[in-house]
A and B are shown apart, each in its own frame.
Chain A
Amino acid sequence: MRRTTAVSAIAVAATLLAAGCGVGSKSSSAAANKTVATTAALSGSITFQTWSLKNDKFTPYFTKLISDFKAAHPGTDVNWIDQPGDGYATKVTSQVTTGSLPDVVNLPPDIAHSVAKTGNLLDLKKNVPALETDWVKSGLSAYNYQDVDGGGSFFAFPWYLGTDVSYWNKTMMAKDGLDAAKPPKTFGELVQQAKVMHDASGGKDYLMSRAPGLSDIANTGTKLLSADGTKFAFATDQAAAMLDEYTAAFKAGYLPSNVLDNSYEGNSKLFSKQEVAWTTGGGNLITSLKQDNPSLAPNVVPSPALDTAPLYVQGLSVASKSKNLPLALAFAEYVADNDNQVAFIKLAPGFLPGTTASANDPQYSKSDGTPQGDASVIAYKDMQTAVNFTPPIWTDAMNTILAQEIAKAMTGKESSKQALDNTVRQANALLTQ
């Protein structure tokens, strides 16, 4: 008994001691705000991490990129590592907590936000004078966070930009009395044409095939954040009306019945299987389709995204705790410069460089006459007005809550307004935890 009491006391004491002292990694804005001596001669080695880019298509590009850099800077070395597509956030998280974040690292805005909060990313605004003139504003703003240094920093070079293009199956549409040359341009038109397809096919064909998300809410004109940007405020009447329309369409059978459950394969997969006639995807979807479903690819017609197109950004960040900051910064700037981004994008049609020199380059507005060429041009045009809808404070947990509440609304368990109110309330509660 006495031994048990002693062990318990030690455990409780250790618990309270550790709890009282604080645990976990500490943020350090001092590291992020370092000024790097860019005039120093470059030497030594760094590690460069990409995300799912080591493959037959991109490896030759990166190998040449690195060897050219090393030739221009004798005495330097770059160790290139690549992480698989799945679980990237977890991998980066473990790299941060173990102090092994690569010197130059490819990060999307949401992961960069989490890392920047810990002070592990270098503020580029302080170290790259031409940052705001040479790289596009929309890309930079994705790496500018109100809750980190008061929004006065940029934590990545915009590396490559993407958006969504709408793709239509013209054979399915023609069969059901629709014209792929006149596709819907707004959500309202989409619902109307979905009804036509449903009625003409006896409920066997679908035009709509996904539940709404955050971008659909933003596309109603709803501002996702409050005026001061510190909390969510998207439970508006417009957003509720949009969700009401989705709910009515779901009940009428215009969407596949499994769109809310776990057997749903995603609209892109259903499009590839020719079970639905509309999907959204990156500017290079037709090229991918030629491999997945070669007979479908010639029947696909691209058109601009409905309403406002979403902007997807990838960035190159520099680890603030790098042991070779001058080399890391120089290499990141070199990889993200206009020439190297243009060469990179040639391998990935449908994407656009994140540099201002390329943003208005007319070469991207010329199609070669193929559907893929047309899609690339549409993506280029869409990107001029595309918006990064997802606020950096939006997390995975909030996304799960939104999906749960939208499913409740669409299955009639609560009203659309209630669902949005619940989402906003729970998401705001998470911000304070």
Chain B
Amino acid sequence: MRSHRFYTPWLLMLPALVWLALFSVWPAINTVTLSFTNVHQLTGGHFIGFKNYWLLWHDPHMRDAILNTVIFMVICVPMLTFLRLLLALLVQRNIPGIGFFRTAFYFPVIASAVTVALIWKWLLDDRGLINSLAQSMGFVHKTIPFLTDRWLLLLSAVALTVWKGLGYYMVLYMSALGSVRRELHEAAAVDGAGTVRRFWSVTVPGVRGTMILVSVLISVNAMRVFGELYILGGRTGGVGGQDVSIVMLVQQAASGSDGRLGYASAISVFLFFLTAVPLLFLTRLNKNTLEES
């Protein structure tokens, strides 16, 4: 007896396929299309070849945007990957009141962008909490320019990202940690391995697959950084626009009734290929890990 006709799986997948085609495939193709035109928000455009890509190459803000985005990714990926693992190790223990800490660590993830902006600006402003405390305790005489110095603003954005995102994949790690066999830890302890050694030799290999998955997701998100820099640096991308990210350039190019959709599309296509580099690297790493294991 046949269990189903050949088209049954396709019928079941149809809603998802239609959704995918409408909201992923078609916009992607359209973005590539637009990147070869000079179309604006309200006025039609025409084919201009690779001119948008030439403009992108010569955009005075593009070098800053690439540098900021790459630095942001290079710092965020290892920090978030390992700090989340350590946090998961801490909160997986069943001790009284641990529920409060799990909730507290997860709270920034669900905080609204407006709340986050207010909190962090209040912390980092010239007359904010950190500067007021540092000055009143005599650590500094001049204010620390968190929101005006290029590198301090970028590092502040990293700190905001880490604070806000720490709890996000903590749950994933907690699940992965549950699958690391207790006997391995016990055997390592019997062999004389201390806590640190067991962490590197038992825990990390046990959750390596999850770590790579989390790294991939963080990399993609880091390459698309926008909100954190916008919250701290504003629409100009910091003082003088030196803290712009690539996505911020997309937003700046496309916004307004005179927005340059063609150019914004070209930046988006460029960002896609730039994001693909770390993704391919991590995918290859994952493949090698699987083959070794």
Residue ranges of A at the interface with B (Cβ–Cβ < 8 Å): 11, 14-16, 18-20, 22-27, 89-90, 92-93, 96-97, 110-111, 114-115, 117-118, 257-258, 260-263, 395-397, 400-401, 403-405, 407-408, 411, 413, 422, 426, 430, 433
Contact = CB atoms under 8 A, between A and B. Distances in A.
Contact of A114 (B32, B42, B47): B42
B135 to A, nearest CB: 13
Contacts of B276: none
Given A14-B33, A22-B46, A118-B42, A260 B148 contact: yes
A397 B261 CA distance: 13
Nearest to B255: A396
Contacts of B55: 433
B32 A15 contact: yes
Q: How large is the interface on B (under 10, 10 to 19, 20 to 34, 35 or more residues)?
A: 35 or more
B33 A18 contact: yes
Contacts of A433: 38, 55, 260, 263
A396 B258 CA distance: 8
Given A22-B45, A258-B125, A403-B236, A15 B39 contact: no
A27 to B, nearest CB: 6
7 contacts: A22-B44, A111-B257, A115-B257, A263-B125, A404-B241, A408-B239, A408-B240
Interface string B255-293: 111111101000000000000000000000000000000
Contacts of A397: 252-253, 255-256, 258-260
Contacts of B256: 89, 395-397
Interface stretch (B15-23, B72-80, B88-96, B227-235): B227-235
B36 interface: yes
B143 interface: yes
Contact of B47 (A19, A25, A258): A19
Query: Which of A15, A16, A92, A401 has the most B CB atoms < 10 Å from its CB?
Result: A15
B33 A261 contact: no
Contacts of B238: 261-262
Interface of B: 29-30, 32-34, 36-47, 55, 60, 121, 124-128, 143, 147-148, 231-241, 252-253, 255-261, 263
A14 B37 contact: no
Nearest to A116: B42
Given A20-B47, A24-B37, 14 more contacts: A11-B32, A24-B43, A24-B261, A27-B43, A90-B257, A96-B42, A261-B233, A263-B125, A397-B252, A400-B252, A404-B240, A405-B240, A411-B239, A433-B55
A404 B65 CA distance: 14
A97 B42 contact: yes
A198 to B, nearest CB: 16
A19 B236 contact: no
Contacts of A26: 44
Contact of B44 (A27, A111, A260, A408): A27
Contacts of A92: 257
A199 B29 CA distance: 62
Given A92-B257, A118-B43, A433-B38, A407 B126 contact: no
B33 A15 contact: yes
B45 to A, nearest CB: 5
B233 to A, nearest CB: 6
Contacts of B47: 16, 19-20, 22
Contact of A24 (B44, B60, B233, B257): B44
Query: Which of A25, A263, A396, A408 has the most B CB atoms < 10 Å from its CB?
Result: A263
Contacts of B240: 404-405, 407-408, 411, 413
Nearest to B150: A413
A25 B47 CA distance: 14
A294 B39 CA distance: 50
B198 to A, nearest CB: 45
A430 to B, nearest CB: 8
A413 B36 CA distance: 35
A381 B233 CA distance: 39
Contacts of A11: 29, 32
A261 B257 contact: no
B157 to A, nearest CB: 11
B37 A117 contact: no
Contacts of A257: 126, 143
B215 to A, nearest CB: 27
Nearest to A120: B42
Q: Which 7 A-B pairs have the closest CB atoms?
A: A262-B234, A396-B256, A404-B241, A114-B257, A24-B44, A408-B240, A261-B147
A16 B124 CA distance: 49
A261 B32 contact: no
